[in-house]
A and B are shown apart, each in its own frame.
Chain A
């Protein structure tokens, strides 16, 4: 089965991204070099990804943004290994916006962080970058010392041949003049000699996350922390209803607020600018906008669900057919069916969205933001401001979480900020901020959806499986989905169901309306895994089978799914008295994860998830502790959604507005988590997202085991 989950099929993407990729510009390197030159430390590039400092640091350019998932350590580890560095000399920096050098092959060559592709798409490339730099240093040393290159040894950041010794920093300038070796001739380290790859965090040796010290000591710089002199803070009033437009506005009261400097209308709202946040907030509160709702959504969640269910009565676009497909659902035995309802979900990263833009009309534009798609942002700024890509410098900052929200194909944030900067003719830097209310109420949600699950059970076996979904497409209209291509993100996890069931039918209805949607950590798998894995337990029990045993039987040809399933179940051990247990296994982003949830159901019907045992197979592991951290965090993020998160719509407008009514997981709800990693020599695959999908069905299956109920409406809430 093709891995529809991975952002790998460049054939799907390449057509759409030509517009972004054709420019072939090179920005940023010179600028950064100039920055560095103003200080005592100089940086010398050995290839596109590795720079050696005169202070003997090794800085790796990240083409992926660090927003918590650990790429600043993971990608750097790969280079450190092949260049034979000392960990203490390793640094990271986000690369400039430049598709030609830093495009993600898994995004068709466009720069992008997402789809859990960072390690998977960079592993070989960064091994080569490290090995290339190593050979350049070796050759430089050999030339300098007049020795045979084979006598030159690199270890722990030092270069040595006999009595000759030098640091990387001392050799960097000479090394940079040496032609890079032929890539085909590169020799890679024997994994048995690895110092860093696959190694555990080591406090004594200072080997751990590279972003930890700065984040612990408040020295990390996020986009919102960038505050150029004289910047105006902008808050945008957007339509309360999805699809509404500005009809008119009265700025009199807003202009009277001390500190408010400008009020400007842009394509999707009216911006209030002020000398500081508090003034901008008061100004926005005083602004009166009249909305034209003639094209706005008017329905509420209940009506949307009802409309989706009407669609489910008819066949949708076929996504998978095995055996007789849907016809197989009719026949001998018992047919069971359930409608699984999933709400809109908000990403709600802890750092609210923001972007700072310094615009000089006709000349240049500098953008500081924490974006997953910097070259897309660059193109958006160019389009709004009439600049060329080389005039738009994007500085990618650390981002305080994203979970998909900072990867917007329409570059909403930069587009808004650029329109505002243009409207005030660049007279001051503009810092566009989103409040939490803006974040919760402005769309780009995980799409709400309904799965109609059907199974035919006969003679103790699941003979037929049907999974029909109604959902808005995330990909349609983006550069990632050429016209006429089915949106795989809506059905990933459903269509690649791995159980050997003789008749399978998966189909989908793609719905269109103005509520905007976006990929949300693990994308389609957020709902498909729940529907598949929970309904599997419902069906297995109906067939009189133990759900784990039936999984084992139906996954005999899926060794990696079976491997994580067995490992998680084994490590979970016997079920403690007084608890109920559920198990789920799922394949996403080329990785395999099984989770076992132990849950206490109290006498009053409330329940608590006490412990989760997770087994993950993500191929070759670069940093085991980061894999663990991503599983822990993914479990928490997924649990948050299934327990309490829902964005509902009333008369076309969102109901929730902040963390007091959009309920996210807190520590009291967090289970103990144990993570076990399957040793593997397969290619490395994703870890940012695959921990999320199994937790929901594992918990639902635990509740099912206790109550016998099917948990088909999310979120679950507090009672079993």
Chain B
């Protein structure tokens, strides 16, 4: 079975129910996608599947044939790059573990909603947990990324 990950075709021959997260982290060594809860409750493992934010910890790799999967390592869209730039400008990160997922969620939000209102930012980001509570800066960084995108 062929999966397209960060623009590159990968042959997946693993078990049918094995979540994408472990295929990314263990087999492909793409460790930027993080394990946080395993039950789609925290968003640390967020990747984009055809642009949609998706929880890799509960999504079987085998269910993604023909889909385009983007991880933090392949975040090269204008929105994605603006997000990374804004995250760096505002020094959003603390421990950083959840931030790949946060940045993927922000990229998805800004791709569909390039000029989000404060409420839209909150709605787009509130399912991603950050225990360091960098939420205050994430809000600012999403707004800043929107500015960078012009």
Contact status of A212 and B18, CB under 8 A, knowing A224-B35, A350-B34, A401-B97: no
Quick one: which of A347-372 are within 8 Å of B by CB?
348-352
List the 7 closest pairs (A to B, CB-CB), nearest first: A636-B133, A400-B97, A218-B32, A68-B95, A68-B94, A215-B96, A670-B135
Give the complex CA separation of A639 and B135 in angstroms. Answer: 12
Contact between B126 and A668, CB atoms less than 8 A apart = yes
Q: Is the interface of B mostly helix, strand, loop or mixed?
A: loop
Q: Which residues of B contact A278 (CB under 8 A)?
A: 15, 17-19, 22
Do residues B93 and A209 form an inter-chain contact, with CB atoms below 8 A? yes
CA A632 – CA B84 in complex, angstroms? 21
Q: Assess whether A673 is interfacial by the CB under 8 Å rule.
A: yes
Nearest Cβ on chain A to B75's Cβ, whole angstroms: 9
**A–B pairs, 12, beta carbons within 8 Å:** A209-B91, A224-B31, A225-B31, A351-B97, A400-B96, A629-B134, A633-B134, A636-B132, A637-B131, A658-B41, A666-B127, A668-B126
Q: Does B49 contact A (CB under 8 A)?
A: no
Q: A398-B96, A401-B132 are in contact. List 13 more A-B contacts (CB 8 A).
A: A203-B89, A216-B87, A218-B100, A277-B26, A351-B95, A398-B95, A632-B133, A640-B133, A664-B131, A666-B127, A666-B129, A667-B128, A667-B135
Closest to B17 in A: A278
Known: A400-B34, A632-B137. A215 touches B99 (CB 8 A): yes
Chain A, 90-144, CB within 8 A of any chain B CB: none
What residues of chain B have their CB less than 8 Å away from a CB belonging to chain A? 15, 17-19, 22, 25-26, 29, 31-32, 34-39, 41-42, 44, 71-73, 84, 87-89, 91-100, 103, 122-123, 125-139
Query: In the complex the two chains form, what is the Cα distance from A224 to B80 in whole Å?
Result: 25
Contact in complex: A350, B26 (CB < 8 Å) = no
Using CB atoms, name the residue of chain B closest to A259: B15
Q: Is A187 an interface residue (CB 8 A)?
A: no
B93 touches A637 (CB 8 A): no
Question: Is A242 an interface residue, CB under 8 A from the partner?
Answer: no
Does A526 count as interface, using CB distance less than 8 angstroms? no
Q: Is B38 within 8 A of A436, CB to CB?
A: yes
**Known contacts A277-B26, A350-B98, A632-B136; A664/B129 CB under 8 A:** yes
Q: How far is the CB of B133 from chain A (nearest CB, A)?
A: 2
Least distance between A12 CB and chain B CB atoms (Å): 29
Q: Which residues of B contact A629 (CB under 8 A)?
A: 91, 94, 134, 137
Query: Assuming the A-B contacts A213-B88, A216-B99, are A349 and B131 also in contact, with contact meaning beta carbons closer than 8 angstroms in the complex?
Result: yes
Q: How many residues of A contact B (CB 8 A)?
A: 60
What are the interface flags for A630-659 relative to B under an 8 Å C-beta threshold, 1 for contact and 0 otherwise? 001111110110000000000000000011
CB distance from B58 to the nearest CB of A (A): 12
A51-81, CB < 8 A from B:
67-70
Contact flag A351-B34 (CB < 8 Å), given A276-B26, A400-B96 = yes
Interface centre among A222, A258, A402 (most CB of B within 10 A): A222
Known contacts being A212-B93, A224-B35, is A672 close to B127, with CB within 8 Å? no
* A633 and B91 alpha carbons, distance in the complex (Å): 13
- Bound state CA distance, A152 and B2, in angstroms? 63
Q: How far is the CA of A399 from the CA of B134 in the complex (A)?
A: 16
Mark A368-379 against chain B: 1 for CB-CB distance below 8 A, else 0. Answer: 000000000000
Q: Does A164 contact B (CB under 8 A)?
A: no
Chain A residues numbered 197-248 whose CB sits less than 8 Å from any CB in chain B: 201, 203, 208-209, 211-213, 215-218, 220-222, 224-225, 227
